Amino acid sequence: MSESVGPARTPVAPQGSRRALLGWTAEGGCPYAAQANPKDHAPHLCSMNLNEFAADSLSASDQGVVAGLAHESSDPPASAAGDYALLDAYSRAVMAAVEKVSPSVVNVEVHQAAGRGRSGEQGERRGGGSGFVFTPDGLILTNSHVVHDATRIEITLSDGRRVPADTIGDDPATDLAVIRIDAGGLQAVELGDSQQLRPGQMAIAIGNPYGFQSTVTAGVISALGRSLRSYSGRLIEDVIQTDAALNPGNSGGPLVDSRGQVIGVNTATILPAQGICFAIGINTAKFVASRLLRDGRIRRSYIGVSAQTVPIHRRVVRFYQLPQENGVVVLGVEDRSPARRAGLREGDVIVALDEKPVAGVDDLHRLLTDAQVGARCGLTVIRYTEKLNLTIVPEEAR
């Protein structure tokens, strides 16, 4: 039997729809696709050619529809326009801060003595970092670990000049140092106030990582009040944590806020981690720099013991109503030291200095400042189960 086959029915778009106005059919796709896409690969490609062919092929009313489609596809939504404005404002803030501070950022090249070679000649080791000019007469702030034990220091300014530098003083306990150059036309940075910082605030790091001069990275203040162990063993307090990327060579460079004020001195990063970097608060740097300029060093007191933090038995804590459950056990006492003269013995647990609680070695370091040098201080210790009050006169640490 023969079966008659009628003509294929072509689906028609609903009347009044934009597809109907454009003559769209399920079989033929866009009627203008043949001109732009002879092989008719994909119907959606014809929308790319609407503006080109609509003028010759559409009526006036249809041209208005096409223009509306083109307008809708080209204009970003209002929310995207707002995002663009915010990003532009962020970029302008970063650029303004960088333009203000970059002329004061310097590259620090350090030469240190190394061991003698086979020929007997004195070897030399090179290192480097960053720094920034904080007074117009050539004082530069950088990290102690950058310039410590340097035999020669050379500074490269932002304008390309290379000048020698001398060390005024460095403090390994806070990882800060002040050096001086003799050069004119210097621009000093504006120092901010690290006490006013808040987490989430913009932070911009400027330095010379791996010798790439004036490298800029931006991020936020991740956290405040961190503690960081310096290479001298002491604890650096009130350290700023930021996710602004730091790399070797950034050490000593400035951490800047959106107003172009220096809020910290970049000092360290945790290498296996991503975005965990640290800077010493500028308020700490101001104090240390003033002492280095006055004395060439930071005066601290010492009592002459080696010690470590240990827990105190709970019965002893309750019996003597101690405010903390840890103390500092004395492991060794130096000869002719303040501790030896005060009668301190190995095994004694220090729990207070001048009636201030001592819960660990870091607390003892924090209390032994220059104010205690030569002053009579009360030292409270637990010897076995007995609480003793000794008198000690700390000396200046050498």
Our measurement of the distance from residue 155's CA atom to the centroid of its chain's CA atoms, rounded to an integer in Å, reads: 23
Residue 177: strand, helix, or coil? strand
Q: Is the dihedral of CA 338, 339, 340, 341 positive or negative?
A: positive
Q: Which of 371, 376, 326 is nearest to 350 (CA)?
A: 326
251 is a catalytic site residue: yes
With residues binned 3-state (H G I as helix, E B as strand, rest as coil), the percentages for the chain, rounded to 5, are: 30, 35, 35
Catalytic, out of 102, 104, 130, 145: 145
Return the pLDDT at 387.
Answer: 95
Which residue is it, tokens 């290192």? 127
Asked if residue 187 lies in contact with residue 225, where contact means CB atoms within 8 angstroms, the answer is no
Cα separation values, 276 from 16, 90, 207, 328, Å: 60, 22, 17, 31
Partners of residue 325 on adjacent β-strands: none
Ranges of each domain in the chain: 34-74, 97-113+125-298, 301-396
Q: Which of 48-52, 152-156, 335-339, 341-345 has the lowest mean pLDDT?
A: 48-52
Element at 383 (helix H, strand E): strand 377-383
Burial class (CB in 10 A: 0-12, 13-18, 19+), 389: exposed
Return the pLDDT at 68.
Answer: 57
Interatomic CA distance for residues 340 and 333, integer angstroms = 6
Catalytic, out of 170, 171, 175, 348: 175
Please give the model's pTM, rounded to 2 decimal places.
Answer: 0.70
User: Do the domains 301-396 and 97-113+125-298 match in fold?
Assistant: no
Highest mean pLDDT among 66-70, 119-123, 199-203, 233-237: 199-203
Listed in sequence order, the DSSP H helices in 232-337 are 282-295, 314-320
Interatomic CA distance for residues 250 and 150, integer angstroms = 18
Cβ contacts of 358 within 8 Å, gap of 6 or more: 327, 328, 350, 351, 352, 364, 367
166 is a catalytic site residue: no
Q: Which of 340, 337, 371 is nearest to 354 (CA)?
A: 371
Q: Give the chain's mean pLDDT.
A: 82
194-253 pLDDT, tens digit each: 989 999 999 999 998 776 777 899 999 999 989 888 888 888 888 999 999 888 888 999
Confidence of residue 21 (pLDDT cuts 50, 70, 90): very low
Structure tokens at 128: 């480097």
What kind of fold does domain 301-396 have according to CATH? Answer: Pdz3 Domain (2.30.42)
Burial class (CB in 10 A: 0-12, 13-18, 19+), 10: exposed
CATH number corresponding to 97-113+125-298: 2.40.10.120
Q: In sequence order, what DSSP letters do the residues of 118-162 get, joined into one string?
A: TTSPEEEEEEEEEEEE-STTSEEEE-HHHHTTEEEEEEE-TTS-E
Q: Which of 74, 41, 70, 39 is nearest to 53 (CA)?
A: 70
145 is a catalytic site residue: yes
Q: Which amino acid is at 139?
A: L
22-59 pLDDT, tens digit each: 444 444 445 444 444 444 444 444 444 444 444 455 55
Count Cβ atoms below 10 Å from residue 213 Cβ, excluding itself: 16
